[in-house]
Amino acid sequence: MFRKKSMITVLTVGMVLSSGTVYAQTTSPANGQSDTAFDNKIIKKISADNMYNTIALLSEQPREAGTEGEVRAVNYIEGQFKSLGLETKVIPFPIYDYLTKHVWVKIDGIDLDGTAPRAFSGSVSGKVTAQLVNVGKAKPEEITDAVKGKIALVERGDLTFVEKVQNVLEKGAVGVIMYNNVNGNSFGQVSEGQNIPAVAITRAQGLALVDQLKSGPVESTLDVDIEKIEKTSYVVEAKLKPNKNKDTGQIITIGAHHDSVHGGPGANDDASGVSAVLELARIFSKTPIDTEVRFLTFGSEERGLVGSSFYASKLPKSDVERMVAHFQMDMIGGRDAGEDNPAGGLIMYTIDGKKNLVTDLGSSAGARTMDVAIPYGQLGRSDHQPFHELGIPSALFIHSPVEPWYHQPTDTIDKISKEKLQQAASIVGAAAYQIARPDTPALVNAHVAPGPVDYDFDDRPVD
Ligand code: BES
Ligand code: ZN
């Protein structure tokens, strides 16, 4: 099912919304050209062949963050931006791998038997011997001062591992033993800077310790040796500056992630998004604009949005205040993804499940260019998240449901559809151009989305 353009509220000429924005007028007051004529300035130039060739090249080898494959991709991407005359920057940031040498847990001097304990990823090395204190699930109200200088026995659940470790750390604990809330061992990640050894044990082991503590003090030794290996990953930034005499002072960002999972060629995830970023950069760089357009590709998305989070954390406040929209493209070329409609089952996901400027523009662009009011839904899982957290209207453009080869070694070029690439790049290109083209006024308030556009929330399962 898809919705037709006729069901959309298309705003008419010169309709200025409460935020002071004209965003979906059918005719420009400036020169009488229709939005469709403006759309065509972008979408007629999009070459799916260019995009396909980029994906073919990028997916020749995996681009896992911190590997030579990432570096090769980064060099290629930066080279392409440079050849278009954009102002580029390759921004390095550290990522960490943790190699566990040994994890020993002793209870009253005896090695914990059964399933071997595991260290949390990010745990520090160290050897501590202290009494064990049961702190339940390590919610702040459960932790007493008794844990100071002791090892906290924690049950998994309700809070994140990071929160639990932080809570006991703040009360002065010197180590953490966490037992699972389901059968088997638990495992996860703690944060950089949480400087106490943290290990995971099975539920059975944990419950036995809880029992043992009821009949008297228990002494434990944690001996953890983990090698921390620092690697470097990158964000590629390319700025396209507007004409100096006609500059709204605003910035829009168009992004994708260039890293793949370990061993995966990542043709669709997300060489496809990168190919669209490069193609739109090529076209926008030859088109007059009144808004800075920043093209971004992120490393380490697959490790937990590390590159985009780093980039967002380093943005000067003066940039953030000028940023009015972030368009994220991730998995936009999957032959076997999405739905059978003229927009290929494209959907726009926001972090809060609400419409915003980006989804308004995306949906109306879909309606104009292919008669489909692109629906929106709620999902994180990609680099739109850190932009949303900065208060910037953001959305992830993706085909949903995703294909069966998601994160597989079979995510290869032969599964890429040129038609899907063309559709997604057209919608994002036309939507972004609504802001960037010189005849549309600046958005007065970056954080207020204009409305109304009639398009649906779609609770579609993604995988
Ligand atoms: N491209 C995916 C995001 C995705 C996958 C969205 C399937 C919707 C359906 C992205 O590269 C990814 O794999 N993200 C991770 C989360 C991230 C925070 C590590 C994921 O979804 O597991
Ligand atoms: Zn992805």
What pTM did the predictor assign? 0.85
Give the per-residue pLDDT at 189.
Answer: 65
Measured in Å, residue 106 CA sits from the centre of ligand 2 at 41
Q: 448 lies in a domain?
A: no
Q: Which residue has the tokens 């940039």?
A: 319
pLDDT tens by residue, 367-399: 999 999 999 999 999 999 999 999 999 999 999
Q: Are residues 279 and 404 in the same domain?
A: yes
Q: Specify the 3-state DSSP secondary structure of 281.
A: helix
Contact 387, 312 (CB under 8 A): yes
Q: 321 lies in a domain?
A: yes
Relative orientation angle of helices 272-284 and 418-436, to the nearest 10 degrees: 40
Q: Domain ends where: 185, 217, 249?
A: 217
Q: How many CB atoms lie within 10 A of CB 231?
A: 14
Q: Are residues 189 and 299 in the same domain?
A: no
Contact 355, 374 (CB under 8 A): no
Give the per-residue pLDDT at 366.
Answer: 93
Q: Are residues 266 and 244 in the same domain?
A: yes
Q: Are residues 288 and 358 in the same domain?
A: yes
Q: How many CB atoms lie within 10 A of CB 431?
A: 33
pLDDT band at 186 (very low <50, low <70, confident <90, very high): low
Indicate which CATH number applies to the domain containing 25.
3.40.630.10
Q: 462 lies in a domain?
A: no
Please give the share of the chain, as a percent, with pLDDT higher than 70.
Answer: 88
Alpha-helical (H) ranges within 59-170 are: 68-83, 161-170
CA distance linking residue 112 with residue 92, whole number of Å: 42
Index of the ligand 1 atom closest to the CA of residue 462 = 9
pLDDT band at 25 (very low <50, low <70, confident <90, very high): very low
pLDDT tens by residue, 158-184: 998 889 999 999 999 999 999 999 887
Measured in Å, residue 393 CA sits from the centre of ligand 2 at 20
Measured in Å, residue 275 CA sits from the centre of ligand 2 at 13
Q: Is the pLDDT of residue 136 over 50?
A: yes
Residues with CB under 6 A from ligand 1: 269-270, 301-302, 304-305, 330-331, 379, 381-382, 398, 402, 406, 462-463
Q: 447 lies in a domain?
A: no
Measured in Å, residue 257 CA sits from the centre of ligand 2 at 7
Contact 117, 198 (CB under 8 A): no
Q: Are residues 57 and 158 in the same domain?
A: no
| Substitution candidate for ligand 1 out of 381, 383, 459 with most atoms within 8 A of CB | 381
Q: Is the pLDDT of residue 203 over 80?
A: yes
Q: Is the pLDDT of residue 315 over 80?
A: yes
Give the per-residue pLDDT at 301.
Answer: 97
Residue 358 structural domain: 12-95+231-436
Average pLDDT over residues 428-445: 85
Total number of domains constituting the chain: 2
Give the per-residue pLDDT at 20.
Answer: 31
Q: Is the pLDDT of residue 406 over 60?
A: yes
CA distance linking residue 80 with residue 53, whole number of Å: 13
Q: 34 lies in a domain?
A: yes
Give the per-residue pLDDT at 440.
Answer: 80
Mean pLDDT of the chain: 89
Q: Are residues 53 and 193 in the same domain?
A: no
More confident position, 289 or 35: 289
Average pLDDT over residues 35-52: 95
pLDDT band at 193 (very low <50, low <70, confident <90, very high): low
Q: Domain ends where: 187, 217, 247?
A: 217
Q: Are residues 241 and 207 in the same domain?
A: no
Beta strands in 112-241 (DSSP E): 118-119, 126-134, 151-155, 175-179, 198-201, 219-240
Q: Are residues 59 and 115 in the same domain?
A: no
Average pLDDT over residues 257-275: 98
Give the per-residue pLDDT at 192.
Answer: 64
Q: Is the pLDDT of residue 24 over 50?
A: no
Q: Which two tokens stand for residue 237?
A: 């930034």
Q: Are residues 124 and 67 in the same domain?
A: no
144 to 67, 211, 220: CA distances (angstroms): 45, 19, 19
Index of the ligand 1 atom closest to the CA of residue 257 = 11
Q: Are residues 87 and 129 in the same domain?
A: no
Residue whose C-alpha is closest to residue 300's, from 383, 224, 221: 383
Q: Is the pLDDT of residue 15 over 60?
A: no
Indicate which CATH number applies to the domain containing 120.
3.50.30.30
